[in-house]
Amino acid sequence: MRRLLVGAATIVVVGASGLVSGTGNAAPVEHGRGTLVTKTLTNAAGTRAYQVYTPKGLAPGRPLIAWVHGTSKVRNGDPMGLRPSNTLLAEADRLGFSVVAPIQSLRANGAGMWQFFEPAGLTRGQGEVSILADILRRAVRDQRADPTRVFAIGHSAGGGAVHMLGALYSDVVAAIGVSAGFPFVGDPTGTALRNARQGRPVPTFLVHGDRDDVAPPVIGAVELSAVLAANGLGGARPRGVVTVPARGLDRYPARISRFGSGRSEVELAEVIGAGHPTGPGGVTLDGPRLDRRLIEFLLAHRLR
């Protein structure tokens, strides 16, 4: 994955992928205060299962947030399904939104890792990222969600995949959150990212741990540089920096830097002392408090 930092790639933007089918829906099961159902979707790039969490009594026209897990079949890897303790589920109940969680196929990757680095994924409508985009489109339709308030959060390789979603499907996702992720094609200038988005800024919340040896701070610096430049904020200094102390399940202090505003907004949370695995809330490297900050950042935005 670190080889992404050498060389850039040619980005080809073509028409949206043709969604073939969504099949194999399992019966909904009670999960927390809502229901969880597992479905599958097939398009030209392949078939993937995904889970959908619906809070009890959720009205139509509410937001939808995707959770894209990190590599699963490794030490301290992410679970492939939504844990009952996941902060997203508690916040979905509290704030009123759906959660969709794509599941990587072990046939496609034996480690359960999203292949954000595959060449096919650099073309809109192709590769695994097209499956993620079509899962979002299908979930919006099935949940009768607000199509202007669709968001994605990813961790590690899932974060790399979410950067791909934000790059090639900036007409689908209104904002993204990436925890311990990898920059789009490893380009620190943001040129490839801006071109893939066709110039559209995408509000982005980044999380990195200063003791991460999988996505170390140098990767976070490349990621921040690219996102700022792609959002028209190249070279910008933070408009505000706050340090949030460790407390309870948030085991580490976090230094949060804010850049820009509106559709160009970027936040970076540097988690002091954190390594690579997700924290007890299963979303960021810290606990539920930082998870909630990320979720609230996303929900403040919508497509125009």
Q: What is the pLDDT of residue 291?
A: 98
Q: What is the pLDDT of residue 84?
A: 84
Q: What is the pLDDT of residue 10?
A: 38
Q: What is the pLDDT of residue 33?
A: 82
Instruction: Please list, in sequence order, all residues whose beta carbon lies within 8 angstroms of the beta carbon of residue 163, skipping any fewer than 6 positions away.
Output: 116, 154, 176, 178, 181, 182, 183, 184, 193, 223
Q: Consecutive 10-residue runs of the chain (304 residues): their mean pLDDT?
A: 39 39 56 88 97 97 98 86 90 97 96 92 95 99 99 97 98 98 94 96 98 95 98 96 95 98 98 96 95 98 95
C-alpha to C-alpha distance for 267 and 67, rounded to whole angstroms: 19
Which domains does the chain possess? 2-299 (3.40.50.1820)
Q: What is the pLDDT of residue 31?
A: 61
Burial of 273 (0-12, 13-18, 19+ CB in 10 A): middle
Q: Can you tell me which residue has the tokens 């801006």?
A: 194
Backbone torsion region of residue 187, taken as left when φ is above 0, otherwise alpha when ψ lies between -120 and 50, otherwise beta: beta
C-alpha to C-alpha distance for 54 and 173, rounded to whole angstroms: 19
Instruction: Provide the terminal-to-terminal Cα distance of the chain, rounded to the nearest Å.
Output: 34
